[in-house]
Every structure is written in structure tokens, then in C-alpha cells.
Chain A
Amino acid sequence: QKEVEQNSGPLSVPEGAIASLNCTYSDRGSQSFFWYRQYSGKSPELIMSIYSNGDKEDGRFTAQLNKASQYVSLLIRDSQPSDSATYLCAVPWGAGKSTFGDGTTLTVKP
């Protein structure tokens, strides 16, 4: 069983600010990393995937991966109230199985 740890939160930021979510993982062999967003009472949906060291940007979202330090982060720029959700970090391993962190709940205040 691989371990995935996320900053516990909850995290509250004002509208327009940058929200920073962090995730560390135990398996140095991990190659793929995913961030899912889960609105209250809904199912998780993928927002970002990253496979290589460095930054990957998609609109207001940036994923950062540092394999040497075994962490992956998600930055949300110009945070909006609609970004209020729980963000789950997922690290796949073996036969497509994934270990999920416990999630960080983000609240963006207008």
C-alpha cells in the first residue's frame, strides 16, 4: 500500500487569491499524479494530471511535480467561489489502482 498525504486543511482564501494545495507520496517509483475535484455530495472529477517534473498549466490551474522531493502541488490562481470543493490527490500504482489522499477542502470567500 502506497501512502499519500495532503495538507489537512480546511483552506480558506479570498476571491481572487492563489490557493495552494500540497500532496506528498511515499513511492519513489510513482510516475503519474492526478488531482481530482469533488464538490459536496458529488463524485470526483479529474482536473489535472502530471507525469514529468516541473509545472503544467491549464487555465487557472497549475500542477507542480518534484519527484526528487516526492511532492506534487496544485495552484489555483484567481480563485473563484465555484472553486470551493475538496481536492483529492491520487497516485496510481499497479494494475491501475490508485491511492487517494484524504483531500483538502477549499473554501473561496467572496
Chain B
Amino acid sequence: NAGVTQTPKFQVLKTGQSMTLQCAQDMNHNSMYWYRQDPGMGLRLIYYSASEGTTDKGEVPNGYNVSRLNKREFSLRLESAAPSQTSVYFCASKILAGTGFEDTEAFFGQGTRLTVV
């Protein structure tokens, strides 16, 4: 049982290059999330997918796109990388509780450390 797996762990891009960050979970969770974490700051939501087949913008979606490939996989794409996108990216998954139910724990991948030069 691997939990949430992200690839790659480290990446250096040149400004203008594109890349896709991969995320897969094996916990049968319905919801998946992409966050970025800048030094000394908390996690900011980029995009999320409440369930298979749906995606929505979070707080900081500009410059990113996502694909919920199936229930297990949720990818994040940078079409034209910029130095401002240098950050640590975390994928997370959880069971989305129904209305009136208590929210549940999020499980995080190990992170992708991205540097754009």
C-alpha cells in the first residue's frame, strides 16, 4: 500500500519549458488536490478534483492545468514554466465526506521540488 505517489521528486526547468507532474493514489479516495508550498508558507491550493471527471480551480491556478485521468491519477501541467513557479508541489487525496458529515484527513505525497531558472 503506497498511499500517494508523486513523480518526479526533483526537477529543474528552464523558463518557458513545459512539464507534467504525476500523482497516483491507491486508497480509493474520491478527491484529489494539488498544492504548492513556498518557503515559510503554508499550502496553497492550485487545483482540485472532488470526484472522477471533475476539476476546479483553487486559490492560485494561473499558469497550471490539470487532468483527472481516472480515479487513481491526477496530473498537474505547467505549460510555460516561469521562475515564480519555483516551489514544492504536493499532491493530496482524501475521502470527500457528504454534506453534514465531518471532514476527513488528507494524505500527502512526498512532494516535487521544482526549480525554474
Residues of B within 8 A of A80 (CB): none
Nearest CB in chain B to that of A6: its residue: B42
Nearest CB in chain A to that of B29: its residue: A96
Nearest CB in chain B to that of A45: its residue: B108
Judge whether B40 is part of the interface by a CB distance below 8 angstroms.
yes
Interface residue count for B (Cβ, 8 Å)?
A: 27
Judge whether B103 is part of the interface by a CB distance below 8 angstroms.
yes
Are A97's CB and B110's CB within 8 A? no
Residues of B within 8 A of A34 (CB): 103, 105-106
Are B42's CB and A100's CB within 8 A? yes
Are A97's CB and B42's CB within 8 A? no
Are A96's CB and B31's CB within 8 A? yes
Residues of B within 8 A of A88 (CB): 42-43
Restricting to A9-50, which residues have a CB under 8 Å from any CB of B? 31-32, 34, 42-46, 49
**Chain A residues within 8 Å of B, Cβ to Cβ:** 1, 4, 31-32, 34, 42-46, 49, 51, 88, 90, 92, 95-98, 100-103
Pairs A–B under 8 Å by Cβ, sample size 13:
A31-B102, A34-B103, A42-B110, A43-B110, A43-B111, A92-B103, A95-B31, A96-B33, A96-B94, A97-B48, A98-B45, A101-B42, A102-B40
